[in-house]
Amino acid sequence: MILVATALIMLYLLVNAPALLMRRAIVPPKVEDESVAVTVILAVRNEEHCVKSVVQNLIEQNYRNKEIIIVNDHSTDGTARELSKFDGIDGIKILHLEEGVVGKKAAIRYGEQIASGTLIVVTDADVVHPQGWLHRIVSCNSGKDQLYGGAVLCQAGEGTFVERIQQIEFAAIARLNAGYSNLYQPISMNAANMAYSRDLVTRLHESDKYDYPGGDDIFKLVTAQRYRIDTVFDSENPVFTAPEKTWSSFVNQRKRWISKARAYPAGFMSGITAIIGAGHIFQVIFLPALFVLSGNFYYVGLWLAKYVIDVLLLSLAAFETRPSPGFISVLRVALVYPYLAVYIGITALTGSYQWKGREYER
């Protein structure tokens, strides 16, 4: 059993090793003109507190050849009222899903049908887009049929522990994804920072068969890789999302993410996901149990080895964020995160969760 346990920890280290590599930055050709027409699609639901600022942020992007399509997914707060303030502004279209048609995926589909741009850019209402964000996306996609994904990082918020977890977690995901992009291919996408040519819309719609809430970003990646569509992850063009403020909203968001894992087809990406999850389960449940049953401190050593691996990986990611959460926060997050991940994973795959005022069953 000792050999099996050691092999599992080594395998966990192996699948996380790409995060240790230096990132290979994408150097896109410099596009001086704005001949590529861009459509930015923003699906919103109950975003009263942030929709005005994100639309203003998109308007102020220094890429002028763009239209902004905002699709309201039956918001029950003041989102529609905030959107009405942009009625009549040139380049902005405000749409509302019909009764019986619900969800972020449906909202994005509706926006794609209306889009006039040759390049579709999808983003979220709770993110901040740095100036030059659209210019870089166009440069990376100019003349190419590809699925583009940019990094999504989490703002520090007020510095509470739940916000620190998210800040470090987002940075770690981005670093690991960049590492795999260097070696082989991206292993994740985020609909807060994603783009593809309009010519690819029909082919990427195969992801419609996956009936899960969200913007089907992961399933677009799966579909693109199945059809050998070029995929690229750009760690140098991040958007910044606000952290969830409460443990309840944090857990529910992660349940929504993990619930999609049941539909991952067998392959490279699902294998990586499974090994990382198994590493957390092994640390949280099996290594303590093996130590209690055998009294062998070797299992304690393996537990510590897994903890050190996590500290190393999270440190590399955290120190790239601004403001840096600090090494003490990394130590705390590395200690707590596996237990959170196991709890969220079990409850996501066996129970229900709430998101934006809707209840989702297993």
Contacts of 211 (CB under 8 A, 6+ apart): none
What's the mean pLDDT when you consider all of the chain? Answer: 87
- Beta-bridged to residue 120, according to DSSP, are 39, 196
* Nearby residues of 196 by Cβ (< 8 Å), 6 or more positions away: 119, 120, 141, 146, 147, 148, 204, 220
Is 259 within 8 Å of 353 (Cβ atoms)? yes
By residue count, the chain amounts to 362
CA distance 342 to 148: 30
Question: pLDDT digits over 253-312, tens only?
Answer: 888 787 766 666 667 777 888 899 999 999 999 999 999 999 999 999 999 999 999 999
pLDDT classification of 357: cutoffs 50, 70, 90? low
pLDDT of 329 reads 94
pTM for the structure as a whole:
0.89
Q: What percent of the chain has pLDDT over 90?
A: 56
Tokens 């969830």, residue located: 244
Give the pLDDT band of residue 140 (cuts 50, 70, 90): confident
Residues 6+ apart with CB under 8 A from 100: none
The two three-digit tokens of residue 343, written as one number: 């709890």
Tokens for 349, please give them.
């795959």
What is the phi/psi pair of residue 80, to 5°?
Answer: -60, -40
- Is residue 33 within 8 A of residue 195, CB to CB? The reply is no
List domains and CATH numbers for the chain: 28-158+185-247 (3.90.550.10)
Cα 9 to chain centroid distance, Å, stands at 26
Q: Assign 3-class secondary structure to the chain.
A: CHHHHHHHHHHHHHHHHHHHCCCCCCCCCCCCCCCCCEEEEEEECCCCCCHHHHHHHHHCCCCCCEEEEEEECCCCCCHHHHHHCCCCCCCEEEEECCCCCCCHHHHHHHHHHHCCCCEEEEECCCEECCCCHHHHHHHHHCCCCEEEEEEEEECCCCCCHHHHHHHHHHHHHHHHHHHHHHHCCCCCCCCCEEEEEHHHHHHHHHHHHCCCCCCCHHHHHHHHHHCCCEEEEEEEEEEEECCCCCHHHHHHHHHHHHHHHHHCCCCHHHHHHHHHHHHHHHHHHHHHHHHHHHCCCHHHHHHHHHHHHHHHHHHHHHCCCCCCCCHHHHHHHHHHHHHHHHHHHHHHHHCCEEECCEEECC
User: Tokens 């510590």 belong to which residue?
Assistant: 304
For the chain, the straight-line distance linking the first and the last C-alpha, in angstroms and rounded, comes to 34
Average pLDDT for 94-106: 90
What confidence category does residue 322 fall into, taking pLDDT thresholds of 50, 70 and 90? confident
Mean pLDDT check: name the lowest of 173-187, 251-265, 317-331, 336-350: 251-265
One-letter identity of residue 68: I
Q: Which residues pair with 228 in a beta bridge?
A: none
pLDDT digits (tens, 9 = 90+) for 201-257: 888 876 555 555 555 678 888 888 888 888 889 988 999 999 999 999 899 888 878
